[in-house]
């Protein structure tokens, strides 16, 4: 089933990649990434590099899901070390695929789409493993942590669709820094165990914590007023991480929405507009559609209908694929300069799952497996179809270099 019209394929062919900028850490890594790229065989296709990276993340996720099906508990140290290694490999492979494309003269719009499509797919796998390392289980804590990353990531591509610029982070903090933080988290858990994340700051510094109120008292009335609330701040360490993630998410999301809906300083050039649906009304419509998918997904994940081991992973995996599907379509429509509209069937599917969880026409656990199967089928149908269409139109291969220009 063809998803792309000839007009969309022509718009994609004219797509020009625009860098989103680099952080200081990105600049420091450039010599390393260039050196690794120069060591690669020129027959190695850039998309194959990306595929190897995402495969590592998926394998790490499957092993973690097998060992710790409910996203909590203490696993062997090697599980967390494997997750750290998978994120490290994916991060660096994701940064050298474009360099390999330029080196071999095989750059194409498909490479950019493949890269961002794999990024969309990786979000759930990465976050599920982070939740496991943090030992938060499959409840609202894991779901809120997931949303705090999925939301801004999706908004970054929504912003790019409307402004032509994708801003995710600042000049001092971006994806590279975030990935290193995830790696550190996994390594920390491998060494100290998941029990650390259930401890409190007062347990880490038991000889200092009791004296903090007195120290505040000595600083004056303003500081004294914080004393009664000190016990409220003694969260578990995994809650501290989740609160930090939530705070960063709110800041990023508000800035992204402001730039598109209010500020509007970044304007698309005429050649970048194509047939896009633009303007404030369109932006709000797109935002509402994406919010509906996220909202229903969160609602379903929070339904108290878990039955049997790995049920949390089945539900999370199903929603993760639906998220990746909608995100990939957003990226595709941006690159093809086409009007954006979500796939509506995932919305109806999530609504039906929520309805069933209330009335239980069929076993909710079985319904989750059916949803996962539908998500896999729908995702693969779309992704494989557009890859095939693009390869035929541009006369290229996806995982091999058809026309060498070196």
Confirm whether 369 is domain-assigned: yes
Confirm whether 321 is domain-assigned: yes
83 near 21, Cβ under 8 Å? no
DSSP 135: T
For 94-126, letters b (16+ CB in 10 Å) and e give: bbbbbbbbebbebbbbbbbbbbbbbbbbbbbbb
As a whole number of angstroms, the distance between CA 26 and CA 351 comes to 41
**Residue among 236, 242, 211, 216 nearest 227 (CA):** 216
Positions of the chain with pLDDT under 70:
19-21, 168-171, 201-234, 264-266, 305-309, 403-406
As a whole number of angstroms, the distance between CA 89 and CA 99 comes to 16
pLDDT tens string 155-206: 999 999 998 888 766 667 788 899 999 999 999 999 999 999 888 766 655 5
Confirm whether 351 is domain-assigned: yes
Residue 389's domain spans which residues?
Answer: 6-17+44-205+230-394
DSSP 400: S
CA R_g for the chain? 23
Active-site choice (116, 157, 313, 334): 116
Confirm whether 26 is domain-assigned: no
Confirm whether 243 is domain-assigned: yes
As a whole number of angstroms, the distance between CA 249 and CA 358 comes to 31
pLDDT of 305 reads: 67
pLDDT tens string 275-316: 999 999 999 999 999 999 999 999 999 987 666 667 888 999
Side-chain-side CA neighbours of residue 139 (13 Å): 8
Count of C-beta atoms within a 10 Å radius of residue 285: 14
- Look up 116 and say whether it is catalytic: yes
DSSP 260: I
Alpha helix positions (H), 105-263: 109-134, 140-163, 175-192, 201-204, 212-218, 221-224, 237-257
What is Dmax (Cα atoms) for the chain? 73
Confirm whether 123 is domain-assigned: yes
pLDDT tens string 258-278: 999 987 656 777 888 999 999
Q: Quote the number of domains for the chain.
A: 1
Count of C-beta atoms within a 10 Å radius of residue 341: 13
């Amino acid at each position: 089933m063809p998803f792309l019209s000839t007009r969309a394929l022509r718009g994609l062919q004219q797509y020009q990649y625009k860098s989103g900028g680099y952080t200081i850490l990105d600049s420091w890594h450039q010599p390393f990434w260039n050196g690794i790229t120069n060591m690669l065989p020129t027959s190695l296709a850039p998309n194959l590099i990306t595929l190897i990276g995402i495969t590592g993340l998926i394998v790490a996720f499957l092993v973690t899901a097998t060992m710790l099906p409910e996203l909590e508990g203490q696993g062997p140290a090697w599980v967390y070390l494997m997750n750290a290694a998978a994120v490290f490999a994916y991060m660096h492979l994701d940064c050298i695929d474009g360099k390999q494309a330029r080196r071999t003269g095989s750059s194409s719009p498909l490479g950019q789409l493949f890269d961002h499509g794999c990024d969309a797919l990786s979000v759930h796998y990465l976050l599920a493993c982070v939740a496991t390392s943090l030992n938060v289980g499959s409840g609202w804590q894991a779901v809120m942590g997931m949303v705090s990353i999925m939301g801004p990531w999706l908004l970054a591509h929504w912003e790019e669709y409307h402004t032509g610029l994708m801003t995710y982070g600042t000049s001092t903090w971006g994806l590279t820094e975030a990935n290193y933080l995830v790696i550190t988290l996994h390594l920390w858990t491998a060494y100290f165990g998941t029990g650390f994340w259930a401890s409190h700051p007062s347990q880490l510094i038991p000889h200092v914590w009791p004296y903090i109120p007195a120290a505040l008292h000595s600083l004056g009335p303003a500081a004294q007023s914080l004393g009664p609330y000190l016990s409220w701040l003694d969260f578990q360490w995994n809650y501290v991480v989740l609160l930090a993630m939530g705070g960063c998410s709110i800041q990023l999301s508000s800035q992204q929405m402001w730039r598109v809906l209010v500020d509007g300083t970044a304007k698309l050039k005429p050649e970048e507009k194509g047939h896009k649906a633009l303007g404030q009304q369109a932006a709000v419509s797109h935002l509402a559609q994406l919010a509906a998918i996220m909202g229903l997904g969160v609602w379903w994940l929070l339904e108290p209908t878990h039955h049997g081991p790995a049920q949390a992973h089945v539900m999370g995996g199903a929603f993760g694929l639906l998220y990746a599907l909608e995100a990939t379509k957003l990226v595709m429509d941006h690159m093809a300069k086409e009007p954006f509209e979500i796939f509506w069937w995932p919305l109806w599917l999530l609504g039906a799952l929520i309805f069933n969880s209330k009335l239980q026409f069929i076993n909710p656990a079985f319904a989750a497996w059916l949803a996962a199967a539908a998500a896999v089928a729908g995702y693969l149908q779309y992704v494989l179809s557009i890859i095939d269409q693009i390869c035929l139109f541009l006369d290229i291969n996806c995982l091999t270099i058809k026309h060498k220009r070196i």
